[in-house]
Amino acid sequence: MGYRIFLAGGSGAIGRRLIPQLLDAGHRVTATTRRAAKAEELRALGADPVVVDVFDASGLRAAVASAKPEIVIHQLTDLPAGLDPGKMAEAIAGNARIRDEGTRNLVEAAKSGGARRLIAQSIAWAYAPGPEPHAETDPLDGGAEGGRGISVGGVIALERQVLEASPMTGIVLRYGHLYGPGTGAETAADPALHVDAAAYAALLAAERGAPGAFNVAEPNSHITTDKVVSELGWRADFRLAV
């Protein structure tokens, strides 16, 4: 028996690779985009598209209420295509706003809509300096300054809101550097993560797992990934067939 899933950020790099996996597993997917032009793309993938901005709290609440999801998945980002260095300074602030204000709106919409499980995208390189590899229990870099400080501040806000979203089960996926279809990269620096495997972790977290954070990346010397493998059954080599 599949679940009703509300996927915030369905037209992003991970969202587009996640929708087929969710559907293949028997779930029904309502997926959001900010741009009406991308709604048909979501429909072609098999999702029920909704055009809504995460900063429109009332509109988001209505969209979630209409979908009646049991599970909400947060894959929202605001990053330039190909991570264009000339646009990253502005994007860092916008992305941090999504992680803080956008997450707050999504958590409240999920609660009011009766969802019982919330999975959110985070990053695996926000840990405070210290011995590596970092485990999920290591502190995040709350004392960072400049652009990193803005980015990590957004991550800390996102994770706190998701992990404290009781009575919902909140799970945070700390993704490595993405590569693969839709990312603009064929390889990535460690900790690296193929976009299909990132999406696969979200599928698994939708179906199982206790509340908490999970590092998600290919084997590397910077972060441990034992938890996501042992508790969720995740595989770094997972790839979509097409």
Domain boundaries, the chain: 4-232
What pLDDT, on a 0 to 100 scale, did the predictor assign at position 91?
A: 80
Q: Quick one: 138 exposed, middle or buried, by C-beta within 10 A (0-12, 13-18, 19+)? A: middle
Q: Quick one: 116 exposed, middle or buried, by C-beta within 10 A (0-12, 13-18, 19+)? A: middle
pTM score, two decimals? 0.96
Cα 195 to Cα 45: distance, rounded to the nearest angstrom: 17
Looking at domain 4-232, its CATH architecture is 3-Layer(aba) Sandwich (3.40)
Say whether 202 sits in a helix, a strand or coil: helix
Consecutive 10-residue runs of the chain (242 residues): their mean pLDDT?
Answer: 95 97 98 96 98 98 98 87 57 92 98 98 98 98 96 97 97 97 94 98 97 98 98 98 80
What pLDDT, on a 0 to 100 scale, did the predictor assign at position 241?
A: 87
DSSP 8-state secondary structure symbol assigned to residue 34: S
What pLDDT, on a 0 to 100 scale, did the predictor assign at position 153?
A: 97
